Amino acid sequence: MKEYSIGQLSKQCDVKVPTIRYYEEIALLDPPGRTAGGQRRYPPSALERLSMIAHARDLGFSIDAIREFIRMSNHPTAPCVDLDKITEKHLNDVKKRIKKLQALETELTAMLKSCDHGQVADCRILQVLSDHDQCQTQH
Amino acid sequence: MKEYSIGQLSKQCDVKVPTIRYYEEIALLDPPGRTAGGQRRYPPSALERLSMIAHARDLGFSIDAIREFIRMSNHPTAPCVDLDKITEKHLNDVKKRIKKLQALETELTAMLKSCDHGQVADCRILQVLSDHDQCQTQH
DNA sequence: TCCAATACCTCCAAAGACTAGAGCATTTTA
DNA sequence: TAAAATGCTCTAGTCTTTGGAGGTATTGGA
């Protein structure tokens, strides 16, 4: 039942203190309890919530997408019809990201390999990322 | 040898016109030629460049990371030592992203499945994204 | 060829997501 | 219990992107 100060939360999740307060302001984080002196004290669950937000942001999800993740997570018992489309949308998005990243991984690995051999890579990072559909189908 | 106006580029790459001008301002895009009247005219290569920027941004890469991709791509013949660390750093980053996204994919798929069966998912989207190392090792 | 309609130009401002600092209060720890 | 560390609010700034105002180019018909 330990409680965390905002600074401890910040260190644990690698999120700057003002950013945590900002997330509270835009209602991504529930307002935590306060000490008699007015300082924030977070329950352990806030740690998980915040680090999920940080990772999702890092992966390129918008604040709104994260809001949807949170809503989905908070209402696993909600009518399926409501969740179905949102889930599917995000799943498609995630699959696309994975594909692009895997293509990028291939290219970066190839660059490293040709480096190993002292050879010059015909660098295709840009082409891989530019995603004319060849990239998806021809690799 | 066709040339594109900024509007055509915008449509093709799904990047807003002011955003294209902004990318030029911060030197992510080379300043294109101009007509006698002062309007921008882009070579076909700009199309590829811009769409790579758009995709990389979408995947969550920072402007600086993209600058590095461009630099790497522009100098495939540069000394390997210079590129090696940068490449490896990005490769690690890409691998981490892929892992996180795959975990997320698993969870979203599970949600959809339990929806199919009219059952209630024990939704773990948040936990998956919060990435205490269990997620990497226990799945 | 001329003339709307459309697209473009620059410049300025604002929105979204943070980040930093000033000035003061609370907590911790030596 | 006093000094150091951390926290509070509020304001202002950055970065990336988007929108609008006011004016100029380009273009597709008549």
The listed range with the strongest mean pLDDT (A51-60, A122-131, B123-132) is: A51-60
Nucleotides in chain C with any atom closer than 7 Å to protein CB:
7-12, 16-21, 25-28
- Boundary residue ending a domain (A74, A109, A129): A74
Do A7 and A70 fall within a single domain? yes
Residue B1 forms part of a structural domain: no
Do A66 and A118 fall within a single domain? no
Find the CB nearest A125 among B57, B69, B104: B69
pLDDT at A92: 87
Do B84 and B70 fall within a single domain? no
**Chain segment A6-56, per-residue pLDDT in tens:** 999 999 999 999 999 999 999 999 999 999 999 999 999 999 899 889 888
| Mean pLDDT score of chain A | 78
Give A52's contacts (C-beta < 8 A, 6+ positions apart): A69, B125, B126, B127, B129, B130, B131
Spell out the alpha helix ranges (H) of chain B.
6-13, 17-25, 44-58, 63-74, 80-116, 125-130, 134-138
pLDDT value at B117 more than 90: no
pLDDT value at B1 more than 60: no
Do A53 and A111 fall within a single domain? no
pLDDT at B136: 34
Give A28's contacts (C-beta < 8 A, 6+ positions apart): A53, A63, A66, A67, A70
Do A139 and A89 fall within a single domain? yes
Check residues B94 and A80 and name the one with the higher pLDDT: B94
Do A38 and A85 fall within a single domain? no
List the B17 CA – D28 C1' distance (angstroms).
23
pLDDT value at B92 more than 50: yes
**Angle formed at CA A7 by CA B129 and CA A60, multiple of 5 degrees:** 30
The whole domain housing B28 covers 6-74
pLDDT at A128: 66
pLDDT at A79: 53
Do A41 and A102 fall within a single domain? no
Do B70 and B84 fall within a single domain? no
**Chain segment B58-91, per-residue pLDDT in tens:** 877 889 988 988 887 776 555 555 557 777 888 8
Find the CB nearest B72 among A60, A84, A125: A125
List the B12 CA – D12 C1' distance (angstroms).
38
Give A86's contacts (C-beta < 8 A, 6+ positions apart): A68, A72
Residue type, B114: S
> What CATH number should be reported for the domain holding residue B36?
1.10.1660.10
Structurally, how many domains does chain A consist of?
A: 2
Q: Is the CB of A16 under 7 A from strand C?
A: yes
Cβ-based contacts of B120 with chain A (< 8 Å): 76-77
pLDDT value at A133 more than 70: no
Model confidence at A127, in pLDDT bands (50, 70, 90)? low
Do B23 and B56 fall within a single domain? yes
Least confident of A66-80, A91-105, B107-121: B107-121
- Boundary residue ending a domain (A74, A89, A121): A74
pLDDT value at B98 more than 60: yes
Do B13 and B42 fall within a single domain? yes
**Chain segment B3-57, per-residue pLDDT in tens:** 999 999 999 999 999 999 999 999 999 999 999 999 999 999 999 899 989 988 8
Do B24 and B63 fall within a single domain? yes
Contact B129 A55 (CB under 8 A): yes
Residue B95 forms part of a structural domain: yes
Chain A's closest residue to B114, CA to CA, is: A80
Do B55 and B91 fall within a single domain? no
pLDDT at B132: 46
pLDDT at A124: 62
Residue B89 forms part of a structural domain: yes
- Boundary residue ending a domain (A39, A74, A109): A74
